[in-house]
Amino acid sequence: MIRALFAHSILVAALLLGVAKAQAQEMVQTFGAKSADEVMVLRSTTDIAVFAPVVETFLKSRPGLQVRYEQWGSNELYRLSRRDCREATGIADVVISSGVHQMVQLVNEACAAAYVSRLTAQLPEALRWRDELWGITREPAVIVYNRDLVPAADVPQSRFDLLDLLRPSDTPYARRVATYDIEQSGLGYLFAFADAQEASTFGALQESFGRSLAVATCCSADIIRGVAEGRYLIAYNVLGSYAQGYQREDERIGIVLPSDYTLVLARALMIPRAAPNRSAAEQFLDFLLSADGTLALRNALLISPLLETEEGNEGEALSTTALRPVGLSPALMVALDALTRETFLRRWRATFPGP
């Protein structure tokens, strides 16, 4: 319980300080003894403050290892990882990203090292691909709203409800709905692309966003904080792990798992082919898949309690049949096809033309 509360406090501190706002820039923190004989370089899109307790738990039984944690935006991490792959530059030992379509592409380009263990073999097929990519978290894409400013009758339990809120020409939610800017956020692009394939409501929802002057912005931290402060009333497709961490320190945040369907993300881990410290990377992967690692991820809310119980879902009970896991497979590479991506972004720009 103490560890869980500590993890929640760190998470909220990161959100309040806007850590994720610096996604375009590298942020670095070192964990472990300075006198350690080994260094493992971990590059990730996950906020350092969120993942720190997980890394610290891993290092408790490894006094001879130091972890250099680099936080990157998903698009920047993808470009950097591809460059390292092409140049066979051995810098990162572990890469973890929420842009799982980008990670599948990296594996397809032979950028990853293969690894098999008892723990990796136990993962469902949807959470491992080619024994070179593994899903380590379980996080829903949720609707976030301001409890103080959104009447209970207006809280959208589904995309259809959100459409109804935005449909009137005099809707009070004009300019007050936010979502990810999919050009800046690889995760945002992935969620939007998955919506387009999953739902008949996507076109109508996108049109409603444009008509009601919805806001597209870069980061989970900015979006969730904006809802708490009342700059936005509702946010769409926000990662539930970050939203729940904020909610536990700020009662103004409400969370809904959409009842029509809820996308579920598993952040993907890859060991680069040229990783200098492959042994430490393999140990870290096995730790994350172990009972101790799973507990650490749960405490950090990266394995979301929202998916395990109905507690926290303030709307109608969500059927497990409404969950739509984003599986690790070659199908995700369609989202990165140059023509497909440009066509999709062109439509997005028409919806959110900017200032």
- Tens digit of each residue's pLDDT (9 = 90 or more) over 96-115: 999 999 999 999 999 999 99
Check residue 274 and give left, alpha or beta (phi > 0: left; psi -120 to 50: alpha): alpha
Q: Is the separation of the CB atoms in 192 and 182 below 8 Å?
A: yes
The residue to which tokens 């439509």 are assigned: 347
- Which DSSP letter does residue 119 get? H
CA atoms within 13 A of residue 202's CA, in its CB half-sphere: 15
Question: What percentage of the chain reaches a pLDDT higher than 70?
Answer: 88
What's the pLDDT score for residue 96? 98
pLDDT tens-digit map of 141-192 = 999 999 999 999 999 999 999 999 999 999 999 999 999 998 888 889 999 9
Q: b/e string for 124-161 if b means 16 or more Cβ within 10 A?
A: eeebbbebbbbbbbbbbbbbbbbbeebeeebbbbbbeb
User: pLDDT class for 354, splitting at 50, 70, 90?
Assistant: low
pLDDT tens-digit map of 43-70 = 999 999 999 999 999 999 999 999 999 9
The yes-or-no verdict on residue 201 having pLDDT over 90 is: no
pTM, full prediction: 0.87
The yes-or-no verdict on residue 310 having pLDDT over 50 is: no
Mean pLDDT of 74-86: 94
**Mean model confidence pLDDT for the chain:** 88
